[in-house]
A and B are shown apart, each in its own frame.
Chain A
Amino acid sequence: MLTFEPYGNPTYFALLGVALLPLMIGILYGKRSRLYETLISIFFLVLTFGGPKWTQGVALIIYILYEVALTWGYAVYRKQHNSGPVFFMTVILSILPLTIVKVTPAVANGQASLIGFLGVSYLSFRAVQTIMETRDGTLKDYQVMTFLQFMLFFPTISSGPIDRYRRFEADYRTVPDRDKYLGMIQKGVRYIFVGFLYKFILAYYFGTILMPKLQIMAMNSRGGFMDLSWPVVGYMYCYSADLFFDFAGYSLFAVGTSYLMGIETPMNFKQPWRSPNIKDFWNRWHITLSFWFRDFIYMRLVFWFMKHRVFKKPTTTANVTYIINMLVMGFWHGVTWYYITYGLFHGVALVLNDAWLRYKKKHRQSIPHNGFTQVFAIFLTANMVCFSFLIFSGLLDKLWFQ
């Protein structure tokens, strides 16, 4: 049976084109066929999770039923009551499958959990966010069918971008007018073609051709200070380039395909390599993830800390929350020392960055700000980020412990 990685090869794109054509003609004439949209969603989900990967498909179905029961149950409950403990329990239950999937390899010698499937981490964000907005009362009209469409929207199911229930619903319930939709088609097609360049040419070169060679060289050059060598430096830049082009390329496919379906899925990258500081970097890199963390972890924790006056100074509150926020992001990537160190590194970087921004504001007159300092800031930020990706890559784990 045919089976694919999403956006993995030309056949997938050919099938995508054929499947989307009737849908696109429909939208051009102001119509959305729910039935047809559901059918092609199921078709592509079966391509991704069927055949030899059927166990993942079963895991997906059970997971979705579980999350529907939780979100629906909570939405019904929330109409009458609003207890804190019930809310916390619901959130914990909704991330329980993800927690099991992430912890299992760490405690079972790298064995993957049986309940895991491609996209489980990304779907968890959508479910948790639905529960949190239901609690806030901003999401009043929870619908099981909309939630299913939102969770199972096939262009973004495997790795995001992470959309929001209310935003998705607004797009999904309307049909864009012809002028707007023609603009969306134009953008969507361009995104997909830039995606080809990123993923199949640049990421292929850096990730598949260059990186394995650099890894072998780095492993053979061990013995110096902390086993570091020039090939390690080369690997760091090569890995960073691959990570960016691979993920930005995938994201462009996902956003482009969404646009063709009349859904404006938010963008994931916005020229991250021109960020002048780490804080700005997180406004440009894997945006839907970092904004999710900002809105549902950082801001909520800060709100809670300040309301209960846990810390005396606002800066302490901000700093502690930065560290917690980025540590959680590290754990989300996986329970390994290098993912957690990566999270900690970015937490500390954000704390230092804020301290520097405060210092700069106070001494505005005496600190030069010109083209040169701007270029230097961008250079420094990009290199800090690449170093953090070296930690993230796990190469250090191989150099030191294998």
Chain B
Amino acid sequence: MDIKATVLQILSDLTGNDVSGAMDDNLFDSGLLDSMGSVQLLLQLQSDLGINVPVSEFERSEWDTPNKIVAKAESLA
């Protein structure tokens, strides 16, 4: 399955917004993601894509836009 499509689906479920049109927007600055959302994202990545990310690997500045999250997921898959 396409990782990018899956990640975007997870993000749109989590934030209630379609983020595919703003792939470089900072999700934390816009308030769409917070710590709670980050953890939900990590758990979804685990269950949908089998990607294991420990919480201490989650450096916010590396996960703050849809593009970065997709890139992270692709590199870890």
Task: Indicate whether A and B interact.
Answer: yes
In the assembled complex, the CB of B46 is this many whole angstroms from the nearest CB of chain A, namely: 9
> Which residue, B31, B35, B54, B58, has most C-beta atoms of chain A within 10 A?
B35
- Of all chain B residues, the one with the shortest Cβ separation from A361 is B16
Q: Do A295 and B55 touch (CB < 8 A)?
A: yes
Which of B19-27, B37-45, B64-72 has 4 or more CB atoms under 8 Å from chain A? Answer: B37-45
Give residues in B with beta carbon < 8 Å to A.
16, 31, 34-36, 38-40, 42-43, 54-58
Q: How large is the interface on A (under 10, 10 to 19, 20 to 34, 35 or more residues)?
A: 20 to 34
- Of all chain A residues, the one with the shortest Cβ separation from B36 is A318
Q: Do A303 and B43 touch (CB < 8 A)?
A: yes
| Chain A residues whose CB sits within 8 angstroms of the CB of B34 once the complex forms | 279
Instruction: Report if A136 contacts B (CB, 8 A).
Output: yes
| Chain A residues whose CB sits within 8 angstroms of the CB of B42 once the complex forms | 303
Query: Known: A307-B43, A314-B40, A361-B16. Is A302-B56 also a contact (CB below 8 A)?
Result: no
**Dominant secondary structure at the B interface:** helix
Q: Which of A133, A136, A294 contacts B35 (CB 8 A)?
A: A294
Q: Which of B16, B35, B57 contacts A302 (CB 8 A)?
A: B35
Q: Do A317 and B36 touch (CB < 8 A)?
A: yes
Q: Do B16 and A303 touch (CB < 8 A)?
A: no
Cα–Cα distance between A318 and B34 once the two chains are bound (Å) = 11
> Which residue, B40, B43, B56, has most C-beta atoms of chain A within 10 A?
B56
Q: Do B54 and A302 touch (CB < 8 A)?
A: no
Cα–Cα distance between A279 and B54 once the two chains are bound (Å) = 24
> Given A307-B43, A318-B36, 14 more contacts at CB 8 Å?
A136-B55, A138-B56, A294-B35, A299-B35, A299-B55, A302-B35, A303-B42, A303-B43, A303-B55, A306-B40, A306-B43, A314-B40, A317-B36, A357-B31
- What 0/1 pattern do residues 303 to 333 of A give for CB contact below 8 A with B? 1001100000010011000000000000000
Query: Known: A306-B43, A314-B40. Is A298-B35 also a contact (CB below 8 A)?
Result: yes
Q: Do A302 and B31 touch (CB < 8 A)?
A: no
| Chain B residues whose CB sits within 8 angstroms of the CB of A307 once the complex forms | 43
Instruction: Report if A137 contacts B (CB, 8 A).
Output: yes
- Of all chain B residues, the one with the shortest Cβ separation from A298 is B35
